Amino acid sequence: MSDFDKTTSGSVGGLFAGIAMIAAGIGVGVYPALRQAPARLSEFVAVGIMMLGAFVVVYQGHELRRKRLR
């Protein structure tokens, strides 16, 4: 038997991608406030990007901790 059961599933790149998406969402949300411009669609997009990033971080964290099945 190999150590296949002891290896984790997933990659650390997914965590970094999720964190980058959260940071991008914050940037999209803050940009209109810094320019004192009306935020038409940017708030909606910022919240969507941050929620998707949070989902990716939680999912990849779960996958990194989970053991693979045979």
Residue ranges of the domains in the chain?
A: 12-65
pTM here is 0.74
The pLDDT tens digits of the residues spanning 15-64 come to 999 999 999 999 988 888 888 877 778 888 899 999 999 999 999 988 88
Q: Which long-range contacts (CB under 8 A, 24 or more apart) does 64-67 make?
A: 64/8, 64/9, 64/10, 64/11, 64/12, 64/15, 65/8, 66/8, 66/9, 66/10, 67/5, 67/6, 67/7, 67/8, 67/9
Whether pLDDT at 9 is above 70: no
For residue 69, the model assigns a pLDDT of 59
